[in-house]
Chain A
Amino acid sequence: MNFEYAAAPESRSVAKIDPVYGHFINGNWVAGSSHFSAINPATEEVLSSISLGTAADVDAAVKAARTAFDKSWSKLSGRERGKFLFRIARIMQERSREFAVLETLDNGKPIRESRDVDVPLAAAHFFYHAGWADKLEFAGVDTTTAPHGVVGQIIPWNFPLLMLAWKVAPALATGNTVVLKPAETTSLTALLFAQVCQQAGLPEGVVNIVTGDGSTGAAIVKHPGIDKIAFTGSTEVGKLIARAVAPTAKSLTLELGGKGANIVFGDAAIDETVEGIVNGIFFNQGHVCCAGSRLILQENIAEEVLEKLKRRMEKIRIGDPLDKNTDLGAINSAEQLAKIYQLTAAGDAEGANRWSPNCALPDKGFWFAPTIFTGVTQAHRIAREEIFGPVLSVLTFRTPQEAIEKANNTPFGLSAGIWSEKGSNILWATQQLRAGVIWANTFNKFDPASPFGGYKESGWGREGGRHGLSAYLKGAAK
């Protein structure tokens, strides 16, 4: 007898979406001059019409942020700043279901993830940073605790609300004001966040949200009235920004791409490891900079792990992201789906062995079945380039030293995973790995108190924890 799970859809009605949105500048809604569509990637329906930010819109936002910095925000004590952030955190918790449903509609990720991961973590980031606002002298960064002033923040589409929280919370806690541009395909939760700012009574101009595309982002990067830029996105765009900023005095932090190595030693606990592998690459459809996208298996357990992994993948439920039982949602955009097709085709062409479980994909929307490629070597494109989708490349190793070498053999350095039951082995491996975030016997764990960021081409700086504060304080460096 088969246990079929009936549809268990979360109701859409809790998320009210306006037909058209303007920018949020100086505490008010400002209509844009031209618009583009927000699309539900699971169904391709148009959700709303979003304003395309021009250089003039960015300029207005920067001016508002500067005035707010000079006249109100910098005049407040850390204690009062902190209380605004506490309010924001609490209101996000109060409206959590609204945020979760909206995030799923706009991004395509399963409701279970937006509800259980994205929204609670975003609120927690505000709660955590609220407590730092009046304790900066204890953060151990510098004895001067001055903010930069106006910061420009450009965030990606994979965790729209959470990435907003990672940027805005520390910026405000340290006394900066913000001009933020959400990603082109995921503006809606940022716009709802603007409402939260209003409900919290945040002074006008402290947070400004300008929606748009790459040109809007470029206008922010170029604006001379911005003191610091924070960017999360692809390494390619990160480098463009770094070049644009280099001749200026602007401060810059970057959180870029990765090709995380998930290393499984022969003494790993296999069932837990399989769960960790699945989480590492299929959580959020693999749209994760720190995804464990390279599985590096010790040869002596490779076959056993792969067999269990495939069996586990058969149980992954792909479908309507609003269904509470869905494990794998939609790919965020047609553009991203095309990239995934392109790289997986390269995998085939270069001789790797592709496998996916049989799963029915919906006809409308952007979908890709969970996929593994075995027989991959470091020389394959699918072992070097970030696919940013539910695609796992599987390599093997013989000795621990070889595992480390393969793991480090990449221009990226964001994350790594280690599966082993031996403590000394884990600690040795963490010493050798060139990665900013290392998970041992777990994966994809995030916390506002835990610093996150990469080595090498995965970026500059850390977000979260004590270490994350230094990005937003002027400090001694020029």
Chain B
Amino acid sequence: MLATRSIKTTSKAWAIDTAISMVDLTTLEGADTPGKVQALCSKAFRPDPTDISVPQVGAVCVYNDMVAIARQHLDAIGAKDLPVAAVSTAFPSGRASMAVKLQDTEDAIAAGAAEIDMVIDRGAFLSGKYIEVFEEIAAIRQVCGERAHLKVILETGELVTYDNVRKASYLAMLAGADFIKTSTGKVTPAATPPVVLVMLEAVRDFYDLTKVRIGVKPAGGIRTTKDAIKQLVLVNETAGPEWLNPSLFRIGASALLNDLLLQRMKISDGYYASPNYVTID
């Protein structure tokens, strides 16, 4: 039902700008180079070079060993308050020793990451070793301390059932997550509306019990403005309007940003735009 909400005119313009400010602009390729990362950062800070009213995105999301490059470049172009989020703990599979995962996290923070996106051990979860999953998250939380906020990736596509997603959400929140995140983006299905709904219900209920607000980050499969707006409607009508800002809701995406810009142009210019008029990163 929420998927049929029709968001038009002024509410659409607001939703687009809000969505832009929530994007964690991401590049996670084996082939990432300093050049690619720098281009991404420039785009993240100034999505549309011809229109400075376009807000900057929520964060830049890169592999560990690209964090320093990203941070340096962002500082150099004047984007001091644009955080760098690092995917850590043997992303995306999470199949490595605890020592490696802890070091991974420490390295990222030392290089300038203000946000850590970790993956849970799905193998442990699916074989019922919930305490292990919990303890891993708690250990990474300790490394982050006050220096970085922690997003915990559940990889909902591998958990499959909604009951599992709900369980994993609770596990992550109890263990100290600042954000629960749907996916690595390397597995489909990723951030489908029902899965995001379950996670939003979880953070809402957690707030009722503890008065603490945990953020939600859908990632993967959100490609169009329409998809993004559906997500915002879900947040609005499930967790509530308090979650409608980048400190409690982010969208992990890459291609989405350009579609948001195209739609933004249509609203301000009154006619359909072309991909030639948005930059690639």
Chain B proximity of A113: nearest CB distance (Å): 10
Question: Which residues of chain B (147-201) have a CB below 8 Å from chain A?
Answer: 201
Asked if A2 is an interface residue, CB under 8 A from chain B, the answer is yes
Contact in complex: A1, B244 (CB < 8 Å): yes
Residues of chain A with a CB closer than 8 A to B211's CB? none
Residues of chain B with a CB closer than 8 A to A428's CB? none
Interface size in chain B (residues, C-beta < 8 A): 21
The residues of B with any CB-CB pair to A shorter than 8 Å are 1, 4-12, 14-15, 18, 201, 232-233, 236-237, 241, 244-245
Residues of chain B with a CB closer than 8 A to A315's CB? 237
Q: Which residue from A5, A112, A271, A327 sits with its C-beta under 8 Å from B11?
A: A5
Q: Which 7 A-B pairs have the closest CB atoms?
A: A324-B6, A8-B6, A6-B11, A3-B236, A6-B9, A8-B8, A6-B10
Write out, one digit per residue, whether chain A residues 309-331 have a CB within 8 A of any chain B CB (1) or not (0).
Answer: 00000010000000011010000
Interface of B (DSSP majority class): helix
Measured in the bound complex, the distance between the Cα atoms of B241 and A1 in whole Å is 6
Q: Which residue from B1, B8, B201, B244 sits with its C-beta under 8 Å from A6?
A: B8
Measured in the bound complex, the distance between the Cα atoms of B236 and A112 in whole Å is 19
6 sampled A-B residue pairs with Cβ under 8 A: A3-B18, A5-B5, A6-B7, A6-B9, A8-B8, A327-B1
Q: Across the interface, name the chain B residue whose C-beta is closest to A4.
A: B11
Asked if A44 is an interface residue, CB under 8 A from chain B, the answer is no
Residues of chain A with a CB closer than 8 A to B14's CB? 3
Asked if A350 is an interface residue, CB under 8 A from chain B, the answer is no
Chain B proximity of A332: nearest CB distance (Å): 22
Write out, one digit per residue, whether chain A residues 285-312 have a CB within 8 A of any chain B CB (1) or not (0).
Answer: 0000000000000000000000000000
Contact in complex: A5, B201 (CB < 8 Å): no
Contact in complex: A6, B12 (CB < 8 Å): yes
With known contacts A3-B236, A4-B11, A325–B244 Cβ distance under 8 A: no
Contact in complex: A325, B5 (CB < 8 Å): yes
Contact in complex: B7, A8 (CB < 8 Å): yes
Asked if A116 is an interface residue, CB under 8 A from chain B, the answer is yes
Residues of chain B with a CB closer than 8 A to A6's CB? 7-12
Known: A6-B11, A7-B9. 17 other contacts (CB 8 A): A1-B18, A1-B244, A1-B245, A2-B241, A3-B11, A4-B10, A5-B7, A5-B11, A6-B7, A7-B8, A8-B7, A112-B4, A116-B4, A271-B201, A315-B237, A325-B5, A325-B6
Contact in complex: A3, B244 (CB < 8 Å): yes
With known contacts A271-B201, A315-B237, A3–B15 Cβ distance under 8 A: yes
Chain A proximity of B263: nearest CB distance (Å): 15
Contact in complex: B232, A3 (CB < 8 Å): yes
Measured in the bound complex, the distance between the Cα atoms of B4 and A327 in whole Å is 11
Measured in the bound complex, the distance between the Cα atoms of B233 and A198 in whole Å is 43
Question: Which residues of chain A (1-17) have a CB below 8 Å from chain B?
Answer: 1-8
Contact in complex: A324, B4 (CB < 8 Å): yes
Residues of chain B with a CB closer than 8 A to A325's CB? 5-6
Measured in the bound complex, the distance between the Cα atoms of B251 and A288 in whole Å is 40
Residues of chain A with a CB closer than 8 A to B237's CB? 315
Residues of chain B with a CB closer than 8 A to A1's CB? 18, 241, 244-245
Residues of chain B with a CB closer than 8 A to A271's CB? 201
Measured in the bound complex, the distance between the Cα atoms of B6 and A4 in whole Å is 12
Q: Across the interface, name the chain A residue whose C-beta is closest to B242.
A: A1
Q: Across the interface, name the chain B residue whose C-beta is closest to A3.
A: B236
Q: Across the interface, name the chain A residue whose C-beta is closest to B237.
A: A315
Q: Across the interface, name the chain B residue whose C-beta is closest to A111.
A: B6
Chain A proximity of B52: nearest CB distance (Å): 21
Residues of chain A with a CB closer than 8 A to B15's CB? 3
Residues of chain B with a CB closer than 8 A to A112's CB? 4
Measured in the bound complex, the distance between the Cα atoms of B241 and A2 in whole Å is 6
Q: Which of A3, A4, A8 has the most CB of B within 10 A?
A: A3
Residues of chain B with a CB closer than 8 A to A8's CB? 6-8
Chain B proximity of A181: nearest CB distance (Å): 33
Measured in the bound complex, the distance between the Cα atoms of B239 and A271 in whole Å is 13
Residues of chain B with a CB closer than 8 A to A116's CB? 4
Chain B proximity of A27: nearest CB distance (Å): 38
Chain A proximity of B162: nearest CB distance (Å): 9
Chain A proximity of B234: nearest CB distance (Å): 11
Q: Which of A112, A271, A324 has the most CB of B within 10 A?
A: A271
Measured in the bound complex, the distance between the Cα atoms of B166 and A271 in whole Å is 12
Chain B proximity of A227: nearest CB distance (Å): 43
Q: Across the interface, name the chain B residue whose C-beta is closest to A315.
A: B237
Residues of chain B with a CB closer than 8 A to A324's CB? 4-6
Residues of chain B with a CB closer than 8 A to A7's CB? 8-9
Q: Across the interface, name the chain A residue whose C-beta is closest to B2.
A: A315
Measured in the bound complex, the distance between the Cα atoms of B15 and A8 in whole Å is 15
Measured in the bound complex, the distance between the Cα atoms of B265 and A31 in whole Å is 54
Measured in the bound complex, the distance between the Cα atoms of B15 and A1 in whole Å is 11
Chain B proximity of A119: nearest CB distance (Å): 14
Q: Across the interface, name the chain A residue whose C-beta is closest to B9.
A: A6
Question: Which residues of chain A (125-159) have a CB below 8 Å from chain B?
Answer: none
Chain A proximity of B139: nearest CB distance (Å): 31
Chain A proximity of B22: nearest CB distance (Å): 12
Measured in the bound complex, the distance between the Cα atoms of B1 and A327 in whole Å is 9
Chain B proximity of A111: nearest CB distance (Å): 10
Residues of chain A with a CB closer than 8 A to B241's CB? 1-3
Measured in the bound complex, the distance between the Cα atoms of B5 and A116 in whole Å is 12
Q: Across the interface, name the chain B residue whose C-beta is closest to A278.
A: B1
Residues of chain B with a CB closer than 8 A to A4's CB? 10-11
Q: Across the interface, name the chain A residue whose C-beta is closest to B229.
A: A3
Measured in the bound complex, the distance between the Cα atoms of B201 and A112 in whole Å is 24
Measured in the bound complex, the distance between the Cα atoms of B14 and A1 in whole Å is 10
Residues of chain A with a CB closer than 8 A to B6's CB? 5, 8, 324-325
Q: Which of B7, B18, B232 has the most CB of A within 10 A?
A: B7
Q: Across the interface, name the chain B residue whose C-beta is closest to A8.
A: B6
Residues of chain A with a CB closer than 8 A to B18's CB? 1, 3
Measured in the bound complex, the distance between the Cα atoms of B77 and A290 in whole Å is 64
Residues of chain A with a CB closer than 8 A to B244's CB? 1, 3
Q: Across the interface, name the chain A residue whose C-beta is closest to B10.
A: A6
Chain B proximity of A421: nearest CB distance (Å): 10
Q: Which of A2, A6, A116, A315 has the most CB of B within 10 A?
A: A6
Chain A proximity of B199: nearest CB distance (Å): 12
Measured in the bound complex, the distance between the Cα atoms of B5 and A327 in whole Å is 10
